[in-house]
Chain A
């Protein structure tokens, strides 16, 4: 997992690229890592292009991340969910909690349009 910071219209947007599996084995350390990212910026994007598999504890971890981001007056957006991961979000109704985008660029730039509603 790598984490990058981008400057979108003067505000920092953090992008984490999730890879492989997010399940009961690694969801706890993942949540810890998330807190480090959150310290840098509350505006976050999870790029899930390389995420192959997610189970309910992984899903719980991501929902937990969203909650923390919202508590910090930020948001967590998801991008590039594959069919399988998308299906887990759909059947568990977690899809409604998130803004989901086709790719990372769309997700990151959406923060900018929220800042300047006039430009959209």
Chain B
């Protein structure tokens, strides 16, 4: 005997919409992909070969099921048109069907069967025609019976359409409850109604209430309550103090702490209500609010403090500057070139001289150690256009990922926070440090950081 499983995209379109991360034919029911239940049933009915027909893509299904050798059957795939009748499907697969009996399972519906019954005798002895139907799904047999009907025959079989999240939820819960006795379900466990996958980490205080089905690589953290009736997929974390009851948690989902999930389907960061169809996003509380540009970077007190400290520095370094600058300039060690830097305001630039001092000779060394190359920039602080300490000024005209237009905080300064913390002035780490201080520093700590930056530069240059 052979089996054809036929599906149309329109029947399972709702799965695409609600659970976009999984191919509808691989939709997990109690942690077992939907298609595997049908393959199991085909085998119970005595099929040696199964062909999956669909008018949509089957790539993912094929990658998962491969050639069926896992089940010891011959599994193949073919495409149909949405409006093909059963007759047309048989025609398109005439070679596959051959002269044998064929069972055609069509429609996206769940087959309720019981592995203890003898469906093989049933399938081979029934007259051709419909075996079982439900809205949107049917099992049909074709070809002559190969056996006489045995008189003792009973075989429990019914179909349940999977046409919405509600029916999917029902089917999952039903599968979990009727459990191992009717279907072949994944997982290990000493007790009935309690199946665990591999690598499940359960904290001591976790409470598990049967029935439950838990996938692979799952972490259940302190005081979590799992069940009754919880289906938890693979790669799931249930954080502490949370409870999951009468719910389905899909693969790769994180349930945050102190949550109560009752009668829901959680998939990725979406939490769905199978009854009303409503869904909400479960967001991490730390990422909940969007990152906003901080408008208080340049509050007035901060500006005044910066300007005052800048004035002090201008006064303190006036003597060394007035002596060293002409000296270096005449000696050709002081190279200054105009350049345009991004200003604090988006889309605006400011002209700043780019000064390079050849650190050869004592005079140059002292100049660099005292940060005299930045002496002129101190005046910009007094006028309020630069901060004394802030971000490393970025050259205008370069398109770069950390440009002020994209980042939440940018405030060019004479010194940079990265210098204060001794991070390499380039690279992502420095940018992060700068952003942190821009957001969290206050005028007082700014003074401390300026001194730190100054000393760092001093030590760095004087050791060369």
- Answer yes or no: do A and B interact: yes
Closest to B289 in A: A24
Judge whether B260 and A90 touch: CB under 8 Å.
Answer: yes
Judge whether A91 and B260 touch: CB under 8 Å.
Answer: yes
Q: How far is the CB of A114 from chain B (nearest CB, A)?
A: 27
Is B362 in contact with chain A by the CB < 8 A criterion? no
Judge whether B260 and A92 touch: CB under 8 Å.
Answer: yes
CA distance A90 to B278 in the complex (A): 13
CA distance A116 to B262 in the complex (A): 36
Judge whether B260 and A84 touch: CB under 8 Å.
Answer: no
Known: A23-B289, A83-B276. Is A91-B261 also a contact (CB below 8 A)?
yes
CA distance A32 to B276 in the complex (A): 34
Q: How far is the CB of B239 from chain A (nearest CB, A)?
A: 12
Q: How far is the CB of A67 from chain B (nearest CB, A)?
A: 18
Chain B residues within 8 Å of A57, by CB: 288-289
Chain B residues within 8 Å of A23, by CB: 288-289
Is B279 in contact with chain A by the CB < 8 A criterion? yes
Is B283 in contact with chain A by the CB < 8 A criterion? yes
Judge whether B285 and A84 touch: CB under 8 Å.
Answer: no
Judge whether B259 and A55 touch: CB under 8 Å.
Answer: no
Is A18 in contact with chain B by the CB < 8 A criterion? no
Is B435 in contact with chain A by the CB < 8 A criterion? no
Chain A residues within 8 Å of B290, by CB: 24
Judge whether B271 and A91 touch: CB under 8 Å.
Answer: yes
Is B280 in contact with chain A by the CB < 8 A criterion? yes
The listed residue with most B CB atoms (<10 A of its CB), out of A23, A84, A92, is: A84
A83-102 interface code vs B (CB 8 A; 1 in, 0 out): 11001101111000000000
Q: How far is the CB of A54 from chain B (nearest CB, A)?
A: 9
A 56-108 contacts with B by CB, 8 A:
56-57, 82-84, 87-88, 90-93
Judge whether B288 and A56 touch: CB under 8 Å.
Answer: yes
Judge whether A83 and B289 touch: CB under 8 Å.
Answer: no
Judge whether A87 and B260 touch: CB under 8 Å.
Answer: no
B interface residues, tally (CB under 8 Å): 19
What secondary structure prevails in chain B residues at the interface with A? loop
Known: A23-B289, A84-B279. Is A92-B259 also a contact (CB below 8 A)?
yes
Chain A residues within 8 Å of B259, by CB: 91-93
CA distance A57 to B347 in the complex (A): 33
Judge whether B288 and A87 touch: CB under 8 Å.
Answer: no
CA distance A57 to B286 in the complex (A): 11
Is B264 in contact with chain A by the CB < 8 A criterion? yes
B266-282 interface code vs A (CB 8 A; 1 in, 0 out): 00000101001111101
Known: A84-B279, A84-B280. Is A56-B285 also a contact (CB below 8 A)?
yes
Chain A residues within 8 Å of B280, by CB: 84, 87-88
CA distance A24 to B262 in the complex (A): 26
CA distance A24 to B264 in the complex (A): 25
CA distance A24 to B291 in the complex (A): 11
Is A25 in contact with chain B by the CB < 8 A criterion? yes
CA distance A90 to B276 in the complex (A): 14
CA distance A82 to B277 in the complex (A): 12
B250-266 interface code vs A (CB 8 A; 1 in, 0 out): 00000000111110100
Closest to A58 in B: B288
Known: A91-B259, A93-B258, A93-B260. Is A83-B288 also a contact (CB below 8 A)?
no
The listed residue with most B CB atoms (<10 A of its CB), out of A82, A87, A88, is: A87
Judge whether A83 and B278 touch: CB under 8 Å.
Answer: yes
Residues of A within 8 A of B (CB): 23-25, 55-57, 82-84, 87-88, 90-93
With A55-B289, A87-B278, A91-B264 known, 17 other A-B pairs at CB within 8 A are A23-B288, A24-B288, A55-B288, A56-B288, A83-B273, A83-B277, A84-B280, A87-B264, A88-B280, A90-B260, A90-B262, A91-B261, A92-B258, A92-B259, A93-B258, A93-B259, A93-B260
29 intermolecular pairs with C-beta atoms under 8 Å apart: A23-B289, A24-B288, A24-B289, A25-B289, A55-B289, A56-B288, A57-B288, A82-B278, A83-B273, A83-B277, A84-B278, A84-B279, A84-B280, A87-B264, A87-B273, A87-B278, A88-B280, A90-B260, A90-B262, A91-B259, A91-B260, A91-B261, A91-B264, A91-B271, A91-B282, A92-B258, A92-B259, A92-B260, A93-B259
